[in-house]
Chain A
């Protein structure tokens, strides 16, 4: 694990003011927001700048990080990697501010987890607050599944890393593996809730819940849109002009015969009712017609094209000139 330079990530100096950090973050967040960015690594960069802002935008975390950076600068780990030295966070307590938002650090790096992991309540000085009882915070993560898992349901394992307090009172990273049952018909953007798998509660109160946002991995044939599926269906000009029966694969693994209507055009959509994701009601499977030209790679095909041209006065550009 490498030491992460959060100041470089935001492009600010070590003595940057809170305002400088906020401005730098906003500028980069606009540049790398996944909805608008054309940068190929937008998602990774957005994660990095979110992580940097989470630390540098919080006075307590920033002070602790600065102290840690100084210690690393004075004498790094001999093997070149980074591990937080024991007791590095003594004297710091990390609070979640009133506007801290959800505990959505699940995408942050191992470096972040090793330092700030679940330390929101783990720092020293808890006694000053007096005993309190509170349910643990809810946590968020994402789970990417194959389309087949969304169709048929599945059981998947996910690993989550979080910092916990050891018996010696020192924080350490713990990896938890959870078996997650994926119900059939789950759609991208839906959440699966795992009760009691969020942050631990305090004073005997129960742990929070873990929310997993479902993402569906890109599929070779099908694209998911809500509970509908889309597939490109290539047809020949002959099939499009004269109509045809073609066989297409269905998402469940079977095949079905589909009638391509006479005079079909590129971009036309054919609907296979209730062949999309299961549910109430089930989604549809849409076939998007794409006309594929046979290559003119032999004398016979070239002759056939020429004969077709002679047989029809068809001019696709007739509307271009008045």
Chain B
């Protein structure tokens, strides 16, 4: 057993580049560009060249989920985008219900 101490980074204070996000989900850069095109990922400054785009935790979460939907269900990216939006809506509604002591 080995013990190692490490400096850590929360992605939101040190965003990922497009290349880093692609590596983190085991995909090619081109795949991340497709996620942006179908609006699974939203970039703050789309007019900037892709190498200057920045991605945060929520983007990594959505990219991982899209990758799994594609891998496990052969979902195309438009379908994955819809499922992710519906999942997000489901969580939002559940949070509202919980905030009102329901559910």
Contacts and interface: CB of A to CB of B under 8 A. Distances in A.
A61 interface: no
A209 B24 contact: yes
Given A135-B23, A225-B99, A230-B99, A192 B70 contact: no
A178 B26 contact: no
B2 A176 contact: yes
Nearest to A194: B6
A269 interface: yes
Interface in A129-188: 135, 137-138, 140, 157, 159, 174-183, 186
Interface stretch (A98-106, A297-305, A311-319): A98-106
A100 B25 CA distance: 10
A59 interface: no
A181 B8 contact: yes
B9 to A, nearest CB: 5
Nearest to B16: A193
B87 interface: yes
Interface residues of A, number: 52
Contacts of A175: 1
Interface in B13-60: 13-14, 23-27, 57-58, 60
Contact of B23 (A26, A208, A266): A208
Interface of A: 25-26, 29, 35, 50, 53, 96, 99-104, 135, 137-138, 140, 157, 159, 174-183, 186, 189-195, 197, 208-209, 211, 213, 223, 225, 230, 232, 266-267, 269, 286, 288, 290
B57 A191 contact: yes
Q: Identify which of B3, B61, B72 gathers the most chain A CB atoms within 10 Å of its CB.
A: B72
B60 A211 contact: yes
Contacts of B7: 181, 195
